[in-house]
Chains A and B, each alone.
Chain A
């Protein structure tokens, strides 16, 4: 009784603190809106395919929803990441091992031609634009621009910013750019940073992380050559044919925090409606490449599965449409999410027992929840969108497509796939256990994501998060975790939560303080590794056996685990070990010999980096198994030898 009261008090405290948390004081929905709508854009942009340029003009209506006044404005100019070789993005890419020099036609840039700010009157501030590098002081980096204001903007105060700009389109970097007549535009316009209570949160563009911006209304007119199909965030308002061979596509999106678009004359446009007894109807629009004809159902089915399961588990998708873009081959733009639009990813030869394009589609459609609707800071806490979404995606993969998910490898330059029907892909494989295991100690997850080591950060961001969520699912039960995640979604949609907001939701739903778990799984970089050190079962007098079990904690991180000893008559004994000490010893006097022992037999701890050592049996079959697989390997080697013997 007493402990229950204490837990209730803790839970209440969590609820209260969660309600008060967040990064901006005045982040409540604007009247008649879903979001604060404090960063609203009207953009006119013209594509010039011949010189690979965008020319744009935009008006930003911005409101200060932080607790403090600001005397300056900050803007992202993301495409300047590919303006020179010393940008932070390219430096980090080299650090991550990619030393490829960009092609001469690959470089990109964004140049502000004019900037006017309207406060009490209009001010021309173009000449006062300066570049800042808040993350690393890199003076060669021009991805963040700042302008000082003639007068501060108070909390809840507003400003109108008019910007005229032009941008050189990259040969794709970071999933934006062109190839041939295919264009995908992400992070393509000067975008205002996020002013938090603690000040501007306007990070430079980093090679390993993504974006962060406020919600608003986007009203965008895109002028493209006649014959080009356009897909964009929001919904289509109109298409106006001009006399000069161009067409203006007008799109409007509300309560979104970014706007991306694509255009190509090659797209085949297909639509299908998602319908569900309890969820809103959604119009799905697929822009399919002709060479992927026949794969439309796979895209639609995967998107529908996402709308259904994410909708049922976390909360409904609130927009009336979603656009699936099938990206061009070699465009480098596949597998990327934007509000109400995402790029999928498939191959010309895509065997049905392999979950491509389904898994990519589910992942990117899933980002509509974890990124689009819950607007976490991807620079600092990339795991809050990628990791939570990786977990969610793997769950949909398993639930909706588990029967057709087999491992595949590609041969002959990556063109020819081969599905291994002996190897169904289980959920924790989708959750990237192998990738996490290899890089488990590379960074503590609590480190700001943009400071992760570039080549290994993804394993922490995506896979460690998915695995600790899977651990929580097994530990607390899916109903509890689902309740936590749906509460978190409901509380933080159209806002900017931080890590503690998520942890609070989890602790609240669990009815207990999960901080010790997050201290290890999130705040530390120690690994979990439990195993069996010893199992003996020897005769001890007439008709009796003395069984000794020693289990051990090999890793530095701790987690309570069960220890299951199975005897030769099938009887079992389960011990609960808090897992804190280095080892624990169990002795049994029984009438039968022990057969095996397992630590964490139900595999709650998905983060255990070595699961083979979690069990030991007195009837080992390693000889048989190793013989079988070494003979298979030998046949492979013989195949290699005989193939090369062609040359003699």
Chain B
């Protein structure tokens, strides 16, 4: 059941490439304005300096440090950590270590997550039906479920706020500190840290599971009550723990595989011209792969739910159709 659901999820993603392309473009569009702003700042700082040559051909760390010393806003995030695999270490470490994001990036993230919340209904609807519906139906489903997911999102927000504030503090600022502050052996302290990460990740993963299946049930069963969807999701998880956890584990392994491949093939600083565009292609390919993993989580969970409680492709809600515009009546 788990393996077939996982494969089924991949099939559903493959059958809806427009969705994958869509979420990729959302991710691109979310990041692009700030990237353009940074580009302007970099270009201004380099001006007509010969330092630009080394910077284009490789890394000019001299110039980089000078830029950093004068940077403000998003310029302060322009650090070597943007090179190659460090991006991934930085982003995951930043999330688990609860690093504060600077305001422009926090806003971008907020908008991006809102966009995900909007399209998730349409994505799940498309994956649940397993057949092409067209853009109208997709956006209609997005609209239908968006406000329900906002309600669910409030519960999720509260949960994550609790996890990232109180639980994180308790784990990392109290338990971890108390148990390690007098330990003079680094590996021991490291293992404690790993334990904290494992506990925290497991808690966040549990929360994401619950909210994921709540969304799946909301869409597949056309639920209007998000409280009901959440309770139903928890019931499903409790009754099918091995399947749910097994599937999540396989998806986690897929995530790790994608990250491992990125670690191997990333270009690092790279050079200019074709070499630069090759690097861009590889990095965007990685982002695309990460998004596929994200979609695979949704698709495979949808498949698992449908296989467990109904049948392949079961969905209670009729295909959402966007109402015709008023102009139709005059035609």
Q: Is the CB of A429 within 8 A of B61?
A: yes
Q: Which residues on B sit within 8 Å (CB–CB) of A625?
A: 42-43, 46, 52-53, 55-56
In the complex, chain B residues 95-140 whose Cβ is within 8 Å of any chain A Cβ: 95-97, 101, 105, 108-109, 112-113, 116-117, 120
Is A449 part of the contact surface with B, judged by Cβ < 8 Å? no
Is A348 part of the contact surface with B, judged by Cβ < 8 Å? yes
CA distance A575 to B113 in the complex (A): 58
Contacts A422-B269, A635-B284, A647-B204; is A611 near B51 (CB within 8 Å)?
A: yes
B192 CB to closest chain A CB (Å) equals 10
Q: Which residues on B sit within 8 Å (CB–CB) of A409?
A: 79-81, 86, 90
Contacts A180-B182, A347-B186, A348-B186; is A640 near B113 (CB within 8 Å)?
A: no
Q: Is the CB of B66 within 8 A of A610?
A: yes
Q: Is the CB of A644 within 8 A of B53?
A: no
Q: Quick one: closest A residue to B160, CB to CB?
A: A647
CA distance A207 to B74 in the complex (A): 34
The prevalent SS among residues of B at the interface is helix
Q: Is the CB of A422 within 8 A of B83?
A: yes
Q: Which residues on B sit within 8 Å (CB–CB) of A330?
A: 180-184, 189
Identify the stretch in B24-32, B218-226, B308-316, B317-325 within 8 Å (CB) of chain A at 4 or more residues: B24-32
Is A636 part of the contact surface with B, judged by Cβ < 8 Å? yes
B314 CB to closest chain A CB (Å) equals 25
CA distance A298 to B105 in the complex (A): 41
Q: Is the CB of B48 within 8 A of A617?
A: yes
CA distance A620 to B67 in the complex (A): 17
Q: Of B38, B97, B101, B280, which one neighbours A413 at CB under 8 angstroms?
A: B97
Q: Of A411, A614, A637, which one neighbours B31 at CB under 8 angstroms?
A: A637
Q: Which residues on A sit within 8 Å (CB–CB) of B184?
A: 179-182, 266, 289, 328-331
B114 CB to closest chain A CB (Å) equals 9
Q: Is the CB of B189 within 8 A of A627?
A: no
Q: Is the CB of B49 within 8 A of A613?
A: yes
CA distance A330 to B181 in the complex (A): 7
Q: Is the CB of B34 within 8 A of A637?
A: yes
Is B22 part of the contact surface with A, judged by Cβ < 8 Å? no
Contacts A291-B186, A621-B52; is A638 near B81 (CB within 8 Å)?
A: no
Contacts A598-B50, A617-B50; is A641 near B27 (CB within 8 Å)?
A: yes
Is A643 part of the contact surface with B, judged by Cβ < 8 Å? yes
Q: Quick one: closest A residue to B75, CB to CB?
A: A633
Q: Is the CB of B69 within 8 A of A329?
A: no
Q: Which residues on B sit within 8 Å (CB–CB) of A644?
A: 95, 109, 112-113
Q: Is the CB of A647 within 8 A of B156?
A: yes
Residue from B42, B67, B81, B189 with most neighbouring chain A CB atoms (10 Å) = B42
Q: Which residues on A sit within 8 Å (CB–CB) of B112?
A: 641, 644-645
A101 CB to closest chain B CB (Å) equals 14
Q: Which residues on B sit within 8 Å (CB–CB) of A176?
A: none
User: How many cross-chain pairs have Cβ atoms below 8 Å apart between A and B?
Assistant: 274
**Complex interface bits, B250-286 against A, C-beta within 8 A gives 1, otherwise 0:** 0000000000000000001110100010011001101
Is B190 part of the contact surface with A, judged by Cβ < 8 Å? yes
Q: Is the CB of A635 within 8 A of B82?
A: yes
Is B15 part of the contact surface with A, judged by Cβ < 8 Å? no
**Complex interface bits, A409-433 against B, C-beta within 8 A gives 1, otherwise 0:** 1011101101011110010110001
Q: Which residues on B sit within 8 Å (CB–CB) of A627?
A: 39, 276
CA distance A331 to B184 in the complex (A): 7
Is B287 part of the contact surface with A, judged by Cβ < 8 Å? yes
Q: Is the CB of A615 within 8 A of B87?
A: no
Q: Of A418, A621, A641, which one neighbours B86 at CB under 8 angstroms?
A: A418
Q: Of A289, A434, A438, A626, which one neighbours B46 at CB under 8 angstroms?
A: A626
Is B249 part of the contact surface with A, judged by Cβ < 8 Å? no
Q: Is the CB of A631 within 8 A of B280?
A: yes
Q: Which residues on B sit within 8 Å (CB–CB) of A535?
A: 48
Q: Quick one: closest A residue to B193, CB to CB?
A: A413
B263 CB to closest chain A CB (Å) equals 10
A102 CB to closest chain B CB (Å) equals 13
A183 CB to closest chain B CB (Å) equals 11
Q: Quick one: closest B residue to A413, CB to CB?
A: B193
Q: Is the CB of A635 within 8 A of B287?
A: yes
CA distance A611 to B62 in the complex (A): 8
Is A407 part of the contact surface with B, judged by Cβ < 8 Å? yes
Is A272 part of the contact surface with B, judged by Cβ < 8 Å? no
Q: Is the CB of A437 within 8 A of B290?
A: no
CA distance A628 to B69 in the complex (A): 20
Q: Is the CB of B46 within 8 A of A640?
A: no
Contacts A331-B184, A642-B294; is A622 near B49 (CB within 8 Å)?
A: yes
CA distance A413 to B276 in the complex (A): 32
Q: Which residues on B sit within 8 Å (CB–CB) of A422?
A: 58-59, 83-84, 268-269
Q: Of A289, A437, A630, which one neighbours B35 at CB under 8 angstroms?
A: A630
Contacts A624-B56, A632-B283; is A615 near B49 (CB within 8 Å)?
A: yes
Q: Which residues on B sit within 8 Å (CB–CB) of A181?
A: 184
Contacts A328-B184, A415-B190, A622-B49; is A648 near B153 (CB within 8 Å)?
A: yes
Q: Which residues on A sit within 8 Å (CB–CB) of B93?
A: 411-413, 416
Q: Which residues on B sit within 8 Å (CB–CB) of A289?
A: 184-185
Is A639 part of the contact surface with B, judged by Cβ < 8 Å? yes
Residue from A180, A627, A636 with most neighbouring chain B CB atoms (10 Å) = A636
A30 CB to closest chain B CB (Å) equals 41
CA distance A618 to B48 in the complex (A): 7
CA distance A640 to B120 in the complex (A): 19
Q: Quick one: closest B residue to A640, CB to CB?
A: B91
Residue from B31, B78, B92, B153 with most neighbouring chain A CB atoms (10 Å) = B31
B204 CB to closest chain A CB (Å) equals 7
Q: Of B87, B186, B208, which one neighbours A639 at CB under 8 angstroms?
A: B87
In the complex, chain A residues 298-345 whose Cβ is within 8 Å of any chain B Cβ: 328-331
Residue from B30, B65, B81, B186 with most neighbouring chain A CB atoms (10 Å) = B186
Is B236 part of the contact surface with A, judged by Cβ < 8 Å? no
Q: Quick one: closest B residue to A346, CB to CB?
A: B186
Is B85 part of the contact surface with A, judged by Cβ < 8 Å? yes
CA distance A639 to B290 in the complex (A): 8
Q: Is the CB of B190 within 8 A of A348?
A: yes
- A sample of 24 cross-chain residue pairs with beta-carbon separation below 8 angstroms, ordered by A number, consists of A180-B184, A328-B184, A329-B183, A330-B189, A412-B89, A412-B193, A418-B89, A422-B268, A422-B269, A614-B49, A621-B53, A621-B272, A622-B46, A625-B42, A626-B40, A628-B272, A632-B83, A633-B77, A638-B31, A639-B90, A639-B287, A645-B112, A645-B294, A647-B113
Q: What 18 new A-B contacts, CB under 8 Å, besides A411-B86, A641-B112? A: A330-B182, A348-B190, A412-B97, A415-B193, A420-B268, A429-B61, A429-B65, A611-B63, A612-B66, A617-B52, A620-B48, A624-B272, A632-B283, A635-B286, A637-B35, A638-B287, A641-B108, A647-B160
Ranked 10 nearest A-B pairs via Cβ: A328-B184, A630-B39, A634-B35, A622-B46, A422-B269, A626-B42, A635-B283, A411-B93, A625-B55, A615-B50
